[in-house]
Structure 1
Amino acid sequence: MKRAAAFPAASLCLALALAGCSADPEAADGRVHLTFWHGYTESDGDVLEQIVEDFNTSQDDVVISTEVNPWDVIDDTVLPALSAGTGPEIVAMPSERLPVYADRRALVNLDDFYADDPAAPELQPGAVDMVTTDGGAYGVPTGFVPLTMFYNKALFAEAGVEVPTTWDEWVAAAEKLTVDSDGDGTPEQYGLALPDHATVGNGVWPTLFYGNGGDVVQDGRAVVDSPENAETLEFWHDAIATGSISPTGLDGVKGDSLFAGGRVAMYVGGPWMASVADENGVDYGIAPVPAGPRSPAASAIGVSMALTVQADDEQRSAAKEFFSYFLAHERSVTWSLGSGWPPLRTDVGPDEVDDNPVVAALTTQAPLARPLLPGVVNNADVLEAVDKLTQRAMAGQPVDALLAEAQQEVEEALDE
């Protein structure tokens, strides 16, 4: 994979000089000071702020100050701030942005942290893969959650349908749950809402590809044009075209709305759909995405925090102390219960987080989770190619030609 340019020349010189020219991190109080930018603004933000405060009071050597902004504002401002020497030493970001900043030499390699920290072997393997790019770890996961299936319990009970566990069962259940009372070809109630583009985290179709043994990118190579992916697209087009089990031309926003309005019995989404359902009075259940012909699998949505090149040696050591503190077993439980994310550690069981039923359900599904395009710098263009592929395939266009076109577009994105 070709590497994008790092910083502009002047910025690169500044970045290289930061360690030697930055102000002494030990303030008058003799402590090492760190700034931490993040975009957690709801209950997750409250619990993260409490964890930072607890860390600050747990020892006398390090003080972390947080700055909270929307994720897109952080994305727009972190590189200019680092170039000016006014950025954060720690920054949180959605997982798809991590390879971009690692590629631009804005982040510090954390392989030594993973080699030494006792929490590292207990982390979900997929979460570690999520923060790995170019063979090195450049972040510490703060969230890693598999997409899951939400279902409307009332509609299931009315139709006498069991929760499906395989694709065939999924389609059969969706057919029974689809209601077209007036026979006009447009159901009043759909068994499934399967967006064909702009899906949650763009992970719904990769999830389906994984379930049939396919993928989009493997080991830095485009693999979207495969017999497995052709089978997947044809299977779901046939299911939708034959049984009208899902609307066509659907995006994720409309899918959310249909499930919230009680017009859809099954929907694939993230943990926030629990709040959407609660707010709209939908009695919902949570189950793993039904397994494909090859295996059960689910694409994951993630967030990580990273150490920037602005930090000098003392600040880097101090930041790693905080990372260890955050990943400890006790904080993993606290963070999960407060944030709604399943535990990052494999040794935290559902019984430890059963005060939050959504988290407990997602904890049992965490081993199915796979990071979406880990280490892929130009992931936005890759996902755009997949979006065009799935939308046009569900509209009935020839799958073989679409896959060949998508393969070329993904290859070009990887080469940029």
Structure 2
Amino acid sequence: MRHRLPTAVAALALVLPLAACGGDADAEDGPPTFTVATWANETEADELDAILDGLNDAQDTYRLEQMVIPGGEYYTKLQTMIAGRQAPDLFWLSQEYVPAYADNGTLTDLTGRVEDAIDLDDYPPGSLDPATVGGALYGLPWIGQPYVVYYNADRFAEADLAEPDGTWTWTEFREVARALTDGTRYGYATTGTPPVALFAWGEGGDYVTADGEVVVDSDATVAGLELAHAIANDATATMPQGLAQSRGVESAFVDGTVAMMVGGAADDIERKVAESGDPFEVGMAVMPAGSVEHVTFNWTASTVLSATVTDTEAGLAALTDLTHAMFDWKIPAPVSSRVGDIADVNPQKAYAVDVVTRSAEIARGFHNQPQQNELGSVIWEQLEGPILSDGDGRGVGDLADLAAATAAKMREVVDR
């Protein structure tokens, strides 16, 4: 669920004024109707329509209608609507886009306006922080996806290895991956999941601080990048990058070629393995710890309220009601009190409630910036892509030099 913001369209949206979509059209004849833009697939859209119908039947303050935009077109269409002064009233934003939309005035500032309806203290910082820009709240997260390690328990038994207990480090993880690699089978595979930044976090580094300072060239970050490079390119432990790209990491895990992979806690891995031709027991483990911090990545998405909505009180009621309702829909919910519900919503995850709960406690997102789309391109092209592929087999040279060059380009973007 990654979406990139088209730079040219985003720039256009910065200079064009906004106007309301349909949110206040029915104010004289009845409650306002708000359009909710989503990237839901066909099944999800039907499920969400049922949720909206329930909300509409339960009160007379607002009406909600879903506008489904295919995932691959979502941000292009959204920006076109905003530029054309037809912004949806409520819409989904994945975490990396919140700063840009907040910065250009597209979003309603929710600070101090939703606390009576939503317990913000129930959100772990790793879920709520990505919806906060400059100390102000601009979205209500409805899903939190802490990253975990999925593993083939049968392969562990075959290799006479103890299954991970949540206390392992990346060094131990690499040793386990080596023990699980034999001929055409590999211990581990990745094409960029988890994010390379996770290794930097574990060593006490970062790409960008919460204050917006680029620190990708710090000693701590470089140490994490060196660790990521070593694991990704260890032929005795990890599937070669080209093969992983062509096979697909999840497919290679499901068919037993790869013994460990990283994915979201709610990913449908257990069902896919059970339905495959040669099923095995799936295990789930907390991400390995770095030498400084035990941390994992958290993918979140929020529902936001357009600044074009003039009936703000009705809009806020719709936003908070919808957020509560979606806690019962998508799993795991991004609030501490609901993480354990994953076992009720998806019984195949019941074995892993403790792992999911622990992972949610140590999960965080990026310190996203208004220029995150451009920064992400620089990071991938200049740093993470070469690290994962070892410069397409040519090597990456000194990683401190590579990080310094990347930092210089990132600072150019941030300082514009």
Q: TM-score range by the shorter chain?
A: 0.7 to 0.9
Tell me whether 1:189 sits opposite 2:185 in the alignment. yes
Q: Any idea what SS the aligned residue of 1:214 has?
A: coil
2:377 corresponds to? 384
Structure 2 counterpart of 1:297, from 290, 295, 298? 295
Single out whichever of 261-270 and 96-105 deviates more from structure 2. Answer: 96-105
Q: Is the 8 A contact 2:203 2:293 kept in 1?
A: yes
Q: CA deviation at 1:22?
A: 8.6
Q: CA deviation at 1:221?
A: 0.9
Q: CA deviation at 1:100?
A: 2.1
Q: CA deviation at 1:311?
A: 0.9
Q: CA deviation at 1:66?
A: 0.9
The superposition leaves residues 152-203 of structure 1 with CA deviations (integer Å, 9 ceiling, x where unpaired) of 12211211212332222211211110103xxxxxxx11111133xxx24xx5
Q: CA deviation at 1:77?
A: 2.1
Considering only aligned residues, what root-mean-square deviation do their CA atoms show, in Å? 2.8
2:239 corresponds to? 247
Single out whichever of 140-149 and 42-51 deviates more from structure 2. Answer: 42-51
Counterpart CA distance in 2 for 1:27 and 1:321 is 19
What amino acid maps onto 1:344 in structure 2? P
Structure 2 counterpart of 1:334, from 325, 328, 344? 328
TM-score, with length taken from structure 1? 0.83
Counterpart CA distance in 1 for 2:201 and 2:412 is 22
* Distance verdict in 2 for CA 1:257–1:99, change over 3 Å: same
Tell me whether 1:221 sits opposite 2:213 in the alignment. yes
Q: Is the 8 A contact 2:200 2:222 kept in 1?
A: no
Counterpart CA distance in 1 for 2:377 and 2:399 is 17
Tell me whether 1:176 sits opposite 2:169 in the alignment. no
Counterpart CA distance in 2 for 1:22 and 1:236 is 47
1:162 corresponds to? 162
Tell me whether 1:325 sits opposite 2:321 in the alignment. yes
The superposition leaves residues 200-226 of structure 1 with CA deviations (integer Å, 9 ceiling, x where unpaired) of 4xx521122111211111020111112
Tell me whether 1:406 sits opposite 2:411 in the alignment. no
What amino acid maps onto 2:162 in structure 1? E
- In the TM superposition, what are the counterparts of 1:81-120 in structure 2 within 5 Å? 81-120=81-120
Percent pairwise identity: 25
Q: Any idea what SS the aligned residue of 1:411 has?
A: helix
Tell me whether 1:233 sits opposite 2:228 in the alignment. no
Q: Any idea what SS the aligned residue of 2:92 has?
A: strand
* Distance verdict in 2 for CA 1:393–1:64, change over 3 Å: closer
Contiguous gaps of at least 5 residues in structure 1 = 181-187
1:373 corresponds to? 367
What amino acid maps onto 1:194 in structure 2? T
Single out whichever of 271-280 and 295-304 deviates more from structure 2. Answer: 271-280
Counterpart CA distance in 2 for 1:84 and 1:232 is 44
What amino acid maps onto 2:267 in structure 1? W
Q: Is the 8 A contact 1:34 1:65 kept in 2?
A: yes
Tell me whether 1:285 sits opposite 2:283 in the alignment. yes
Single out whichever of 148-157 and 316-325 deviates more from structure 2. Answer: 316-325
Q: Any idea what SS the aligned residue of 2:241 has?
A: coil
The superposition leaves residues 6-27 of structure 1 with CA deviations (integer Å, 9 ceiling, x where unpaired) of 7465x32xx2x659x9964425
Q: CA deviation at 1:126?
A: 1.8
Single out whichever of 211-220 and 131-140 deviates more from structure 2. Answer: 131-140
Counterpart CA distance in 2 for 1:279 and 1:410 is 45
- In the TM superposition, what are the counterparts of 1:25-174 in structure 2 within 5 Å? 25-26=26-27, 28=29, 30-164=30-164, 165-174=168-177
Counterpart CA distance in 2 for 1:119 and 1:233 is 37
Q: Any idea what SS the aligned residue of 1:34 has?
A: strand
Counterpart CA distance in 2 for 1:151 and 1:22 is 47
Contiguous gaps of at least 5 residues in structure 2 = 1-9
2:252 corresponds to? 258
* Distance verdict in 2 for CA 1:162–1:380, change over 3 Å: farther
What amino acid maps onto 2:333 in structure 1? P
| Equivalences, count | 386
Q: CA deviation at 1:276?
A: 4.5
* Distance verdict in 2 for CA 1:403–1:23, change over 3 Å: closer
Superposed structure 1 runs of 4+ greater than 6 Å apart:
none
Q: Is the 8 A contact 1:145 1:362 kept in 2?
A: no
The superposition leaves residues 267-320 of structure 1 with CA deviations (integer Å, 9 ceiling, x where unpaired) of 1122335154445345322111111111211111121111112211x2x21221
* Distance verdict in 2 for CA 1:240–1:137, change over 3 Å: closer
TM-score, with length taken from structure 2? 0.83
Counterpart CA distance in 2 for 1:57 and 1:206 is 45
Counterpart CA distance in 2 for 1:268 and 1:41 is 23
Q: Is the 8 A contact 1:332 1:345 kept in 2?
A: no
Q: Any idea what SS the aligned residue of 1:295 has?
A: coil
